[in-house]
Amino acid sequence: MHATPAAPRAGTTPAHPRPTHDRPGPPAAMRALRPVPVRLPDVVHRDDLSQLAWVGLHRDGLLEPLWGDAAATAGDVPDDRRRALALARLVPARGTVGRLAAAWVHTGLLPPDHVDVLVPSGGRRTDPHPLRRAAEAVLDERDVLVVAGVRVTTVLRTGVDVARWVPEGAAVPALRALVAVGLRTDAALAELGRFTGHRGVARAARLLAGL
């Protein structure tokens, strides 16, 4: 007779455990149905999306209003690059963002109700748009910098133009905001010398001296 092997005691592991197998993963067809993470550009315009997607992304907290019909990716601090991109579609290739719009690009404060676009004197008129106002201006290379592909007047030139052309009630807060990001009033006063005899210079000197 052959002895029958004794059964393993409770709580012990059999000498020859059954092989185990990893669970199979989901079929490829099911993996394809998994949601893909949403990757949004820094700035999204209303026309880039359907009405449903635009409302849904705001409702889900993925987009936050930036300016006009432009929104920024939620959680990111808007900077001069994002603000310039928000205005980009209203700026023709030959144009430069100036005055209060440029002040907003530089400071992030006091969003304008329209975009001031400076164009070369004697050039073709900018097509009308309810959110754009064009003005002729002579700008040197030193007056302009490029932010995210958008031409914007420098902090110095912006300060001079705001002091000359913007109504005083809006100009003073904008000038103070520009001072906070580096505008030097002594440099701005000296820069006014380029425009001696032109409109708005005396008032600009008074506003700048009073900051």
pLDDT, tens only, 105-121? 999 999 999 999 999 98
pLDDT at 25: 60
pLDDT at 9: 58
pLDDT at 126: 86
pLDDT at 78: 82
Strands 96-98 and 132-136: unpaired
User: Tell me, what amino acid is at 119?
Assistant: V
**Confidence bin at 12 (pLDDT 50/70/90):** low
User: Tell me, what amino acid is at 122?
Assistant: G
**Confidence bin at 29 (pLDDT 50/70/90):** low
From 92, 78, 91, select the one nearest 101 (Cα to Cα). Answer: 91
Tokens representing 138? 């002579």
Are 76 and 42 contacting, i.e. CB atoms less than 8 angstroms apart?
yes
DSSP 143: G
Region 162-178: what's the mean pLDDT? Answer: 99
**Confidence bin at 123 (pLDDT 50/70/90):** confident
**Confidence bin at 132 (pLDDT 50/70/90):** very high
Write down the pTM of the prediction.
Answer: 0.81
pLDDT at 11: 54
